[in-house]
Amino acid sequence: MTDAPTTTTSDVLAGVDLTGAQVLVTGGTTGIGKETARALCAAGASVVITARSDEKGAAAVDDLRATVPDADVAFAVLELDSLASVRAFTDRFLAANDRLDLLVANAGVMAMPYGRTADGFEQHFGINHLGHFVLIGRLMPLLVASAPARVVVLSSAGHQASDIHWDDPNWERTEFSKMDAYGQSKTANVLHAVELERRYGPLGVHAYAVHPGMVRTDLGRHFTREDVEDLMARAAKSAAASGGSGSGGGGLPPTVNVDVGAATSVWAAVAATDADGGSYCADCAVAAAAPYATDPDAAQRLWTLSEQLTHETFSAP
């Protein structure tokens, strides 16, 4: 059985002073997003979290201030399944902030039943990738103006489930598989970081993709028994193909708490001094992703496809 990671957010940030840093964390009301925000607040950063409603945002801010009494934290409402919401959010954020040092693209969905976003995209691809594509693109001028700055994009080892379905990314003609759809979106997250680095790394904005591990959160709330069996079979097949023996439980890795699950996000955000921009990271270190997820030509192709789908163009510097 593979040993579970043990490094926590507190371990990563020991002795780190982020006073004066402005941070945005999407999906900061629960799970690893909330823990990422807590840890960065505790280190002195000013943090804005996004929430899907005023109620959830206010409750999360109250919790964070109870845990970190002097936390400089606020929330703003953002629905990543609506590009109109993304655009409205970025307009408000740009009007209210004169700098942005760190953007953690944490929000996401997993194993959702078939459905479409407000703009007609398949939900995993639309929320996990395209919503963040527009969000980051529209905030990039502020990140560049604040450089050195970083973007951390939450991916997953689940990217190994699927490459991009280039001819049908929104599952309009292909028989739907929720795990393949999730895998495609997580591959898109890695490719997004690769292309962000190519475009903006020379301007001082470095991007990283992160696999948080198997974390105890409500992300898998849509899982059915069949989904779990499918995931276990995929993990066992992957372990066998790589010559490994798996980690028990049909090849699934051990689960960890949120302070460990968020550690790699925080590490990539502030401590990954030896990691090249565009890297895929896991367990607070650079890790190996599937070759198709780090292919620079595929990254440029996905950028072009994303611009076409969202009708947003972000010029290369």
Residue 208 appears among annotated catalytic residues = no
Residue 230 included in any domain: no
Q: Are 233 and 309 in contact (CB under 8 A)?
A: no
DSSP assignment, residue 2? P
CATH label of the domain that carries residue 164: 3.40.50.720
Q: Whose CA is closest to 271, among 139, 152, 186, 98?
A: 152
Structural domain including 65 reads 9-223+256-304
Alpha helices (H) in the chain, listed in sequence order: 9-13, 31-42, 54-67, 83-96, 123, 132-145, 178-200, 225-241, 258-261, 263-266, 291-294, 296-310
The CA-based angle 119-125-126, given to 5 degrees, is 25
Residue 295 included in any domain: yes
pLDDT band at 183 (very low <50, low <70, confident <90, very high): very high
Residue 216 included in any domain: yes
- Report the alpha-carbon distance of residue 266 to residue 249 in Å, rounded: 28
Residue 85 included in any domain: yes
Residue 247 included in any domain: no
Task: Express each pLDDT in 55-98 by its tens digit.
Answer: 999 999 999 999 999 999 999 999 999 999 999 999 999 999 99
Residue 312 included in any domain: no
Token pair, residue 189, equals 């997250």
Residue 228 included in any domain: no
Q: Whose CA is closest to 159, among 132, 131, 188?
A: 188
| Stretch among 6-15, 29-38, 170-179, 240-249 having the lowest mean pLDDT | 240-249
Domain count, the chain: 1
Active-site entry in 114, 182, 208, 292: 182
Residue 33 included in any domain: yes
Task: Express each pLDDT in 114-130 by its tens digit.
Answer: 999 999 999 999 999 99
